[in-house]
Amino acid sequence: MIDPDRLAWDKMDGLIPAIVQDSATGQLLMVGYMNRQALAATLDSGEVTFFSRSKDRLWRKGETSGNVLKVASLHGDCDGDALLVLAEPAGPTCHLGTDSCFGTEAPGAGWLGSLERIVAMRAGAAPEDSYTARLLAGGPGKAAQKVGEEGVEVALAAVSRDAAGLREEAGDLLFHLLVTLRSRDVSLASVIETLRQRHKPMRTGKEQSA
């Protein structure tokens, strides 16, 4: 994943800033510091561990609250003096109870990852209490039917409604698509990876036709 010996530990007296980003949404979660021991603990446990300057010891994020950060991947920058940690949060990252220490939501299309998690949480709700739970209780067929209906609505809106109307219908379609994916245990990340593979530059340097 990363070679600790290729990092520039001497630049900041053995500490390197570690930026933590949600692997599903791209949301910036927090920033901490790692020394060699913290990085080793992170790699060994699969959970983000920092060196706490105030406590003067290793600190595993979530060791008290249970809101750990499960490592998806870890990367050094081009100069080896900063780390990017892509992680899956088990709960709110900030001690104030918010998803991010910066008080921001997932940026742009990354918010679909947040919506996917909401759909997953609704799956455990009682059908009488949640529209999403009712759809999932009906199986893939029920959710797929809604995708078909909303797809037609999007097509009609594209030719007969204004931009606001199109946005509303497109939002309905994306939501029901996420529910359908959930009904078949297919993740949004896997769909994105399929698109990424489909549109990777060809060996000739030319991109495949979209």
Task: Give every CB contact of residue 104 below 8 A, 6+ residues apart in sequence.
Answer: 27, 28
For the chain, give every domain's residue range: 4-89, 108-198
The average confidence (pLDDT) of the chain is 92
pTM: 0.72
Note the CATH architecture for domain 4-89. Answer: Roll (3.10)
> For residue range 121-157, what is the model confidence (pLDDT) as tens digits?
899 899 988 999 999 999 999 999 999 999 999 999 9
- What is the structure's pLDDT at 114? 87
In CATH, the number for domain 108-198 is 1.10.287.1080
- What is the structure's pLDDT at 107? 77
Q: Where are the alpha helices (DSSP H) in 102-162?
A: 111-122, 131-137, 139-160
- What is the structure's pLDDT at 202? 57
**Beta-bridge partner residues of 52:** 57
Other Cβ atoms closer than 10 A to 154: 18
Q: For a pLDDT cut of 70, what percent of the chain falls above it? A: 95
Q: Indicate the DSSP class of residue 55.
A: T
Measured CA distances, 34 to 49, 138, 179 (Å): 7, 47, 39
Q: Which residue has the higher pLDDT, 32 or 104?
A: 32
**Beta-bridge partner residues of 60:** 49
Other Cβ atoms closer than 10 A to 80: 17
> For residue range 153-202, what is the model confidence (pLDDT) as tens digits?
999 999 999 999 999 999 999 999 999 999 999 999 899 889 989 987 65
